[in-house]
C-alpha cells in the first residue's frame, strides 16, 4: 500500500516538474519573440 502511495507521489512530482519546465519554456519563447521584435524595430 505504501509503495503505491510513493509511486503516486513520484508521478505527481514528475507531472508538476514537466508543467514548470513547459511553462518556463513558453515564457522564454514569448520573451525571445518580444526581444526579436524589439531588436527588429531598432
pLDDT recorded at residue 22: 93
What DSSP line would sit under 1-42, residue for residue? -HHHHHHHHHHHHHHHHHHHHHHHHHHHHHHHHHHHHHHHH-
pTM: 0.57
Please report the pLDDT score of residue 1 as a whole number: 58
Tell me how many domains the chain contains: 1
pLDDT of residue 41: 81
Reported as a single tens digit per residue, the pLDDT across 1-42 is 578 888 999 999 999 999 999 999 999 999 999 999 989 986
What's the confidence (pLDDT) of residue 34? 92
Range of the domain at 37: 1-42
Neighbouring CB atoms inside 10 A of 28's CB total: 10
Amino acid at each position: 500500500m505504501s509503495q503505491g502511495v510513493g509511486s503516486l507521489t513520484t508521478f505527481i512530482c514528475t507531472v508538476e516538474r514537466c508543467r514548470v519546465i513547459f511553462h518556463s519554456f513558453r515564457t522564454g519563447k514569448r520573451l525571445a519573440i518580444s526581444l526579436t521584435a524589439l531588436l527588429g524595430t531598432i
